[in-house]
Amino acid sequence: MILDFVEANNFRNLNGKIFWGPGLNIIHGHNGQGKTNWLEAIHTLSRTKSFRTPRLQESIRFGETTGFIQGQVSSGSDLHRELQITLKENTKTIWVNGRREQLARYLGHLQVFAFTADQLEVVRGMPEARRHFLDRGVFSLRPSYVHTVSDYNKVIKQKNRILQDSLERELRLEETADLVAPWNDQLVQLGAEIHKARTDYTERINAALERTLFEPAEMHVGYASTLDGKGDISDYEGRLRERLQLRLPAEVASGRALIGPHKDDLSIHLGGRETRVYGSSGQQRSALLLLDLAAISVYNSWHDDYPLFLVDDVDAELDEKRIRRLLEYLEGRTQTFITTSKRSHLEGFLSKANVHEIVEGSAVPVDLNGSSFSTVAASVK
């Protein structure tokens, strides 16, 4: 899978087109010029979501009402697909080869994994970030999984409404049980599908972890279900239904659903110690990289293809040793996009890279033989 080019108009400060190389792409420029905006455009073109904001309308250039991103994806020698996302106020429209496309089908055309400062929440943040990591991974293998998660979230939202209403109206427990019963039936079915998909993906990640790439300590991940320790969960549906009945009084008292995969987590350990609690900043970054690379490996094993890999502000997030090992590992594997405001840590890779310097959102010619990337960029510093 190769992204041949991306064209953007009124997306952040971007206007124009960049043609990418099949291997390493270095996006260089001073702060505030739009380097990260190009990564965001690629990410949005892939997932229809930004890694910077949940509100896509915020990415439309200030003062404009519409923005768009377009790109061409190549697979093999003769298969090309034109992808496009049009953003307007609170709506987005997605297209493949000039035709409107459904989300589940669209998500299979361009896959990216991203290493950004925000993604560090997967390692050191709240469980929600780790659940999202797992769900993104499952999406990358089976795009139809998006429907399962979407349907499950709708069930939880409706059940929460009933529980909150029951709490406010002080309904009898039996009345509330009758009201939530049909939603619990759906919760059990969809929850079992999510649990199976996530645990399977977790096992695949464990099998793919490159434990010695950045850290000498062994890394291990495990799926932490809210049903762990509550009996034999090989019959997950039976245990979940049992716990839903048992915990109904607590759910009514709190006014929200307390049982199900929306409360699960992913444990991440280096050397037998929980990385979120005991890992240093460098170890946490290494752990996230190892997770990303494992996800790329799992994707490759499933599809016999590689996704794109985005690394934002590489020299700020990683030291020179980790950068070198990362780029050596990725060479010949993924089409990689890296943003940086420096070149010192990337000197050994410039001859192998496709280098783009960004000035006010647009790419300008780059002289790799000079002492700086471009005199144009220096003039606006």
Q: Tell me: domain 1-111+307-381, CATH 3.40.50.300, correct?
A: yes
**Topology of 120-304 in CATH?**
Glutathione S-transferase Yfyf (Class Pi); Chain A, domain 2 (1.20.1050)
Give tens-digit pLDDT for 170-226: 899 999 999 999 999 999 999 999 999 999 999 999 999 976 677 667 899 999 999
Give tens-digit pLDDT for 33-73: 999 999 999 999 999 989 888 888 889 998 889 999 999 99
Show me where the domains of the chain are located: 1-111+307-381, 120-304
The model's confidence at residue 232, banded by pLDDT at 50, 70 and 90, is: confident
Question: What is d(CA 78, CA 237) in angstroms, rounded to the nearest whole number?
Answer: 46
Question: What is d(CA 45, CA 68) in angstroms, rounded to the nearest whole number?
Answer: 9
Q: pTM score, two decimals?
A: 0.89
What is the per-residue pLDDT for 212?
63
Task: Give, in degrees to the nearest 5, the angle at Cα 288 between 283 and 294.
Answer: 120
Tell me if 1-111+307-381 shares its fold with 120-304: no
Cα–Cα nearest to 135, from 226, 189, 205: 205
